[in-house]
Structure 1
């Protein structure tokens, strides 16, 4: 008796051969005895079924690219977490849906990590079968296609979704996710933003994020509008929109609508000069980065009264010329202040 089920043990041994192709030596403990005791394998203590595989960065990079073979995972039917990140996995072959059956039948899978590989093309349609997924990390690959028509929009259990550094097209309305009440984190930096006609989005939308990182995106026009769905968000805690060239004045409505917002990053967005258009203190914000914009002294004069509890303030590389306002002395929580590359007077 090997402790775990024979079909799962055999599957793990095949995965070992695959991950080491053609001459690697990873996973030396995957040899004898109870496979539930092997490194990087976690089994259910009661059923002895394999439920977690932690194989991130396990392949020797000197071995080169590794063709993806999802069929090896077919027999791990109770698998809940699979990490294959940073293993030089090469593209999904252009085959029929049966090629993906090994993953698409993992109905119990809750976490899937594929970041830092060399996967290209559109996501296979059968991925919508992964109905138990809570977390998916597709970042740092070369996936493409419109997110709004991808299988991701059908994964209603998703809580955490990151697909940064790909070639996805991301509609700024996020209308396809309007019913995703459980989704709380999206990271989609380094993709392409596309503008849709302003669709009807309810101010009481159940799609309410806590964390959104949408920095360094390209756009068809070169100067995109703020993502439309942001006007209907009211529970954000961290928001990063850096390096997108949105332009215009400081988006005061973001702060006004999201009373629990803690961190706001607006670096290099072409924000123009002028005072902050808020006439009351916003006590929740602890960090603001408005570096590399066109903000001027009018903005700086209103900073103390509008954001009195800041811990970190980055306003380097703007158009500041006056002395630092005396009111900054009253910002008792301020621990980090960067005003470099301005022309402040003494």
Structure 2
């Protein structure tokens, strides 16, 4: 690049290209550069040696590369004009010059942004910042800086507008500066190890213009100060995941508060009408506390998201909630709420996410016909039935009605859902009856189906084998963005390099479901849900054969057909389930041999065909099958081979191999149980004697023939002995 020889050039912008490798050494010749922008290329390495001579540099932007940024900042020791440093997305590292303690820089920074997107080791906080007094924005997110929180930054930089040190390793207290910071708008010290009491009573006078405060995921104690009510510009407050106690102040903030997050603390007392004065509140997260009382008096129609889950709330759902026309997210799970669900409640046109699981709601499920709701969680309640056309023409993607008391016909529900884009259907633990209808196969985007523990009967639909059950369908859920909106933007000042703080609705929402696989109930949450796909039809009354077409479910990870009345042989096609991790066919009436091809299933972790009528030899112990013990095959009387104690060769005394066996060591398990043998022998002899005696007693003819034959046998024996042993007796 010959243009690097332009030693009079003052501004160079080569951003958003595909440059890669080390920074060219010819940069050292461009000594007049005042602005250098390298944004979003693929530069690597340490730029220290190439930038030391650019002493005229005022603005240096290198976000989105793979540089190793020396934490000492000594490459800029001779720079007197440097004001703006934007290096987000690179890696801050310890360098050999860090031992130079308290070097005094010639420059005075206004902006320094070095937040990292890669995991870094703990490094000391850069000492040169102690001599900076003009900083307006400081961003060290994810840099794992060790030591106590640098309270002196707030003391020294009175023009500070933003400080963001999220996910560092700071400990100690966060203390208010002695003088007001009139310009500060945004403070983010979340995800550290900050301890001590909540901010003091003078917070409103120290930060009078604060708009955003995030102190979540720390170890801060104490109560929430009433002085937040005097912060008239504060519209985002996040104090979640701390050890805050006491009640929520009646006036927690000024009129502009839009997002309030107090999740996972130790707050108690009533929620409402404490917060009923927050007329502009759009997002309220109070989950995982010990809050009590009812929600009857709550009336904030501007709400977009409301999460009151995991508290001690009681009462019914207020009908006034039908006025929340903007509500998109409602989570009330794991409380003591009850009553029936009003039809007016489900007329919320904007609602996308509804979770009322773990309560005491009863009666019929309300109708969601033509509803916009995409995620419904109503498990662990006392619902008993469905309304007419409950889910017809709905927008559902996830439906979880597990562990209720619903007694409806399964055909009616599936018929309502057949044209939906449903991804996950969980109906386990109810009283659904009837046959599994063919309409279930019209749910083309389904990848988790759980109908276990119901009263279903009839045959397994062979068309299930024509469905993909591919977990790639998780992309349709949009778990990282479907519930997110850009509700607000902060600090979108062009001088801040276009930086905006965006907030999301329900930011901690990770769509989750409980699904039993590997004989254990797991909670699959967020992106992890994308790795799961399965069918669970266990604990029903299904009969008939396992369809050969089930072998086409090559992407499925779990198949559970246990505790049914299935008959016939295990299809050899199941050896095509190349992704399967859990296969449970136990407690049925299956017969025939176990297909030896099943040992091709290299990801199989749980396998059970116990309690059937299988015969023949167990599959060869190789691959995953070497890990399965006797419990996988038990109670199949005519099954033989390892790891069972019964050998397929009756002349070979076997030794049971059970790498994970829970049986008592030293068990002398022989081919024939001798105790059982002698009992059987005695019973047989006694039975034969009694039958013979009875016949002779009843029938005189057979009695005469019996004694005649005995006399004949005795006579013949007498003459046989006399003829053959006479000479012996004479001698």
Query: TM-score scaled to structure 1, two decimals?
Result: 0.62
**Partner residue in 2 for 1:254:** 153
Aligned length: 243
Aligned to 2:17, the other structure's residue is in SS state coil
For structure 1, the 5+ residue unaligned runs are 1-99
Q: Which residue of the partner structure matches residue 229 of structure 1?
A: 128
Post-superposition Cα deviations, 1:94-136, rounded to whole Å, max 9, x if no partner, equal xxxxxx21x1233443322222222222222222222332211
**Structure-2 change in CA distance of 1:303 and 1:270 (3 Å):** farther
5+ long unaligned stretches in structure 2: 240-260, 269-731
Q: Give the secondary-structure state (helix, strand or coil) at the position aligned to 1:288.
A: strand
Q: Distance in 1 between matches of 2:127 and 2:195?
A: 27
User: Considering only aligned residues, what root-mean-square deviation do their CA atoms show, in Å?
Assistant: 2.7
Q: 1:345 aligns with which of 264, 267, 280?
A: 267
Task: Name 1:177's counterpart in structure 2.
Answer: 76
CA gap of 1:273–1:253, structure 2 versus 1, over 3 A, is closer
Q: Which among 171, 178, 184 is matched to residue 285 of structure 1?
A: 184
Contact 1:263 1:287 in 2 (8 A): yes
Query: What does residue 270 of structure 1 align with?
Result: 169
Q: What CA deviation, in whole Å up to 9, does each residue of 1:17-57 have, x standing for no partner?
A: xxxxxxxxxxxxxxxxxxxxxxxxxxxxxxxxxxxxxxxxx
Do the aligned residues in 2 keep the contact of 1:312 with 1:336 (CA within 8 Å)?
yes
- Distance in 2, matches of 1:289 and 1:303, equals 19
- Decide whether the 8 Å contact of 2:14 with 2:38 is kept in 1: yes
Shift of 1:320: 5.1
Tell which structure's C-alpha radius of gyration is larger. 2
2:197 aligned counterpart, secondary structure: helix
Asked if residue 136 in structure 1 is aligned to residue 36 in structure 2, the reply is yes
- TM-score, length-normalised on structure 2? 0.31
What is the CA-CA distance between 1:288 and the residue it aligns to?
0.5
Given the alignment, which residue of 126, 139, 156 partners 2:26?
A: 126
Q: Residues 200, 117 of structure 1: CA spacing in aligned structure 2 closer, same or farther, 3 A cutoff?
A: same
Higher relative contact order (CA 8 A, sep 6+): 1
Report whether the alignment pairs 1:317 with 2:239. Answer: no
2:226 maps to which of 304, 326, 346 = 326
**Equivalence for 2:113:** 213
Aligned counterpart in structure 2 of residue 114 of structure 1, from 14, 17, 26: 14
Within 1, Cα distance between the matches of 2:98 and 2:148?
23
Structure 1 stretch displaced more, 138-147 or 289-298: 289-298
> Separation in 1 of the partners of 2:200 and 2:127?
30
Distance in 1 of aligned mates of 2:230 and 2:196: 18
Distance 1:302 1:296 in 2: 17
Q: Is the 8 A contact 2:78 2:106 kept in 1?
A: yes
Q: 1:180 deviation in Å?
A: 1.3
Q: CA deviation at 1:319?
A: 3.9
Any conservation in 2 of the 1:319–1:342 contact (CA below 8 Å)? Answer: no
SS of residue in 2 equivalent to 1:299: coil
Please show how residues 47-196 of structure 1 align to structure 2 within 5 Å: 100-101=1-2, 103-150=3-50, 152-192=51-91, 193-195=93-95, 196=97
Partner Cα separation in structure 2 for residue 331 and residue 344 of structure 1? 24
Distance change in 2, residues 1:320/1:174 (3 Å): closer
Cα distance change on mapping 1:259 and 1:223 into 2, 3 Å: same
Deviation at 1:243, TM superposition (A): 1.1
The residue that corresponds to 1:197 in the other structure is 98
The alpha-carbon distance between structure 1 residues 176 and 303, as it changes in their structure 2 partners (threshold 3 A), is: farther
Give the drift of 1:303: 7.2
TM-superposed deviation, 1:260: 1.6
Are the aligned partners of 1:245 and 1:268 in contact in 2 as well (CA < 8 Å)? yes
Alignment of 1:5-24 (within 5 A): none
CA distance in 2, matches of 1:319, 1:116: 41
